[in-house]
Amino acid sequence: MDKGITPQDGGMGSQSSVPPVKMKRRLSMTGKIILALLLAALLFAVCRVGNCGGSGDEENVSPDKSASPDTAISKDKRRASKKTSPVNEVAAPIPPPPAPAAPPPPEYLMAFGDVRRLVSEHEIAVNTSRQEIVIAPQSDKKRRGNKESEDETLSLYMSTDTSIQKYVMSILSRYAPRYGAVVALDPTTGRVLALASFAGEGEPLDGRDLYLKSVFPAASVFKTVVVSAAVERGGMNRDSQIPHVGRTTTLYRSQLAENLNTPHDISLQDAFAHSNNPAFGRIGLYVINRNIITDYGRRFGFHAQVPFEFDVEESVMLNPDSTFRIAEFASGFNRETSITPLLGALIAGAICESGVIYEPTLIDSIRSSKRDTLLYERKTKEWKRPIKAVTAAEVRWLMTKVTHYGTARTTFRPLRESEKYGYYEFGGKTGSVNKQGLGKVDWFVGFARNPNNKNHRIAIGVVTTHGEYWTVKSNYIAAEVFKKYISNKEPPARVQKSPE
């Protein structure tokens, strides 16, 4: 029998084919491996639960005993995300990004001053709705670094109503006064609808742009300014009574005395409708004064440059230096106060539109052929607000009496009684005076307005001068223009006429 280890020696209780020493080494190696795995697993678990050296923010948080291992892992991931995310490290909210700045306007965009310069450098026709101007390449060399470039064509789109423009010119040519000028415009925007000028053969004045000239005495048209001041500053209204003696068309010192012999009273409405010179002379002397009249004249645009694409002569007022001259000033019975037809139309437009004068314009827009883009577009802009809306309403009423039973009644009666035109309100002011070199000067400034539609309104200024014989009345030209304008519009619903 081979020598071996007895049970007493080995303590195994049975024999084994593996030597005892070799078995001990095998268990020792296995134990080391198992122990290393257990230690690694334990260390891994401790790191996961303890967050491996975290800041301790969650030490006081009680674990959810009912949570599954997957849930615990998910929470651990969220905690790790909070620790590592830079967003959660910032307590203050992130402000929204600033709004992007508006892009600057194109360099080639034209302002109103640029349009005026363009008009002054080129001959602009006023009798068309569109006109083209060719700009030579030299104009572009500075902007393009002296590089050669093609011609640039600018298309000017005008506010001209060609049907009214041609109609006015045909009337002036047909009746052939010594001189004639007409301005028609939209009083709600200032857009000019027609500009017409006429000079008879052999007349010394240049007849190309008389609508911009202040060579015509304003005559009784100036009463529109004076009555506005009398209503707003003098406290007068349509029923205010004025003592009067003598004829309405004269102006004598005896008619201006403070205490008249056997006078009879005339209402402001009748005095304006019949253009009563002594009554308005007395208003200037005893109701308002020279300074107030001058102030209101400036408010309406006298002694001011009218903002327009073309140069406009200033309308001027008499500077009275005596009591009688103040009466002449207030009544318009003088030759020193002069007005352009353009300003006459603007004043009528102010009465039509609640006391607001809008800047007149002829060019609506300009486009470039080279850039194929819009270079300029007009904007409706207020120029002056000479009187309050309530004052304008009262003066508008007075002006309708001129066409109803006053100095323009004969011309406007067919319009007022017509089913086609009768729903419009027609108002105006006439004026006439003789001036050497011009002859008999005849005026009408006024408006036609649909009270229910602001898009159906027109204001006009007409002046004609005549030699020994009259050829046409200015109020007749105005009435014909009004009929043409209304006929061009869609017939609006008939509205109730204004009370007589």
The answer, yes or no, to whether residue 168 has pLDDT greater than 80, is yes
Distant-in-sequence, close-in-space partners of 115: CB < 8 Å, separation ≥ 6: 309, 363, 366, 376
Arithmetic mean of pLDDT over the chain: 84
Q: What whole-number distance in Å separates Cα of residue 178 and Cα of residue 216?
A: 13
Of the candidates 331, 362, 320, the residue with the CA atom closest to the CA atom of residue 112: 362
Q: What whole-number distance in Å separates Cα of residue 377 and Cα of residue 367?
A: 9
Of the candidates 288, 170, 300, the residue with the CA atom closest to the CA atom of residue 229: 288
Domain-wise residue ranges, the chain = 162-488
The predicted pLDDT at position 372 comes to 76
Element (H, E) at 500: none
Residue 433 contacts residue 441 (beta carbons within 8 Å): yes
Lowest pLDDT segment from 55-59, 221-225, 470-474: 55-59
Question: 265 vs 269, 271, 287, 354, 408, CA distance in Å?
Answer: 12, 10, 15, 30, 23
Model pLDDT for residues 193-218, shown as the tens digit of each residue: 999 999 998 898 888 999 999 999 99
CA dihedral (161, 164, 168, 170) positive or negative: positive
Which residue's structure tokens are 């790191």?
47
Model pLDDT for residues 458-475, shown as the tens digit of each residue: 999 999 999 999 999 999
**Strand order, beta sheet including 439-449:** 192-199, 179-185, 457-466, 439-449, 425-435
373 confidence band (pLDDT: 50, 70, 90): confident
Element (H, E) at 13: none
Q: What whole-number distance in Å separates Cα of residue 383 and Cα of residue 187?
A: 12
The answer, yes or no, to whether residue 119 has pLDDT greater than 80, is yes
The predicted pLDDT at position 490 comes to 58
For residue 419, the tally of other CB atoms under 10 A from its CB is 7
What fold, for 162-488? Beta-lactamase (3.40.710)
Nearest-5° Cα angle at 474, 280 to 315:
60
Model pLDDT for residues 303-335, shown as the tens digit of each residue: 999 999 999 999 999 999 999 999 999 999 999
Provide the token pair at 101.
Answer: 């700045």
For the entire predicted model, the pTM comes to 0.76
